[in-house]
Structure formats: structure tokens, C-alpha cells
Amino acid sequence: MSYQHILLAVDDSPISIAAADQTIILAKALGSKVTIASVVVIDPLTSVSFYKNVPGVTDYYMEAKAHAKNILAELRLKFTNAGIEANTKLLSDQSPSEAIAKLADELNVDLIVVGSHGRTGFKKAFLGSIAQEILTSSHVPVLVAKYTR
């Protein structure tokens, strides 16, 4: 299988940097283009209109979006400097895994790359795993880059 278009799902963690580094290696080797996406989560217990009515929450949400845009810009530059065509997408959704899976379908990507702590057992069950959720909700292959210190 040829991976012509890779979707890299990121946040502001070292895990995402590890996943980005692996994506650069893979994209260079395969001549793939890359879309780097980040999801700013909307609180599922409130509606989007709630954010417009509460200044503190609005400020927090806007700061989160600005921070995500900065991360996307930094990563795009990293890919561009490595000679890889990269676009960015900033998504706002209630579920990061559903947003990434939906974007993968919309962009018709061949592979999703996501980072993971590699937790198991109780830690995984207690803390949840967006990587695991992407694995189960995606219709395309998912490469999970494990973060190690």
C-alpha cells in the first residue's frame, strides 16, 4: 500500500512531537504529503452558544484555539524545512477521535498518525486513550507512535 496522504493528529504534548518526527521520516521515505490537524475540544456539557455568553470561558476557548494555531504553524514549518508538503487544519469538536476520523474521510487520507503514551491496564482505562478511540473509529490505517523518554 502506498501512503500518498498522511494525516497527523497533534496536541501540545511531547507525544505529538514524537509522532511528528516519525511522520517526517515516513513522509520523506514515501514522498507523501501531510495534513497536520489539531482539535480544540468544545465542552460536551454545554452548547457552542454558551461560549459566546460567558467571557471567561470565551477567553479560555479563544486562547486554546490561538495556542493550537501556533503549534500547527510550528509543525508546518518543521515539515516544510524537511522538504515535505504540509497543510494544517484546526478543528473544533466535542470528540477529538471523531473529528480526526471524519477529517480523514473528508481528505481521503491513506494513513493517520497519532502519538500515545503507551499506557496499559488501569492507567489506560482510567485516563482514556484518544489514540485507541481513533483506532476504533477510523476507516483508514492508524500508526500509533509511542512516546518514550
Is there a domain that residue 6 lies in? no
**Per-residue pLDDT band at 23 (split at 50, 70, 90):** very high
Taking the CA atoms of 119, 120, 123 and 127 in sequence, report the sign of the dihedral they define: positive
Are 83 and 108 in the same domain? no
Where b means 16+ CB within 10 Å and e means fewer, 12-29 reads: eeebbbbbbebbbebbee
Tell me which residue range forms the domain holding 84.
36-94
Q: Considering the entire predicted model, what is its pTM?
A: 0.84
Question: Which CA distances in Å does 48 have to 23, 91, 92?
Answer: 33, 13, 10
Q: What is the pLDDT of residues 68-124, one digit of tens each?
A: 999 999 999 999 999 999 999 999 866 888 899 999 999 999 999 998 865 554 444
Sequence-distant (6+) residues with CB within 8 A of 124 are 132
Q: What is the pLDDT of residues 27-83, one digit of tens each?
A: 999 999 999 999 998 665 554 555 555 666 677 778 889 999 999 999 999 999 999
**What would the grid cell of residue 78 be?**
518543521
Are 45 and 56 in the same domain? yes
**Per-residue pLDDT band at 126 (split at 50, 70, 90):** very low
Are 102 and 134 in the same domain? yes
Question: Which CA distances in Å does 19 have to 45, 48, 68, 88, 146?
Answer: 30, 30, 16, 15, 8
Whether residue 148 has pLDDT greater than 70: no
Is there a domain that residue 122 lies in? no
Rounded CA-CA distance 121/75 in Å is: 32
What is the bridge-based pairing of β-strands 86-93 and 5-10?
A: unpaired
What's the number of domains the chain is made of?
2
Rounded CA-CA distance 72/77 in Å is: 9
Are 87 and 40 in the same domain? yes
The residue with greater pLDDT, 139 or 37, is 37
Residue 123: predicted pLDDT: 43
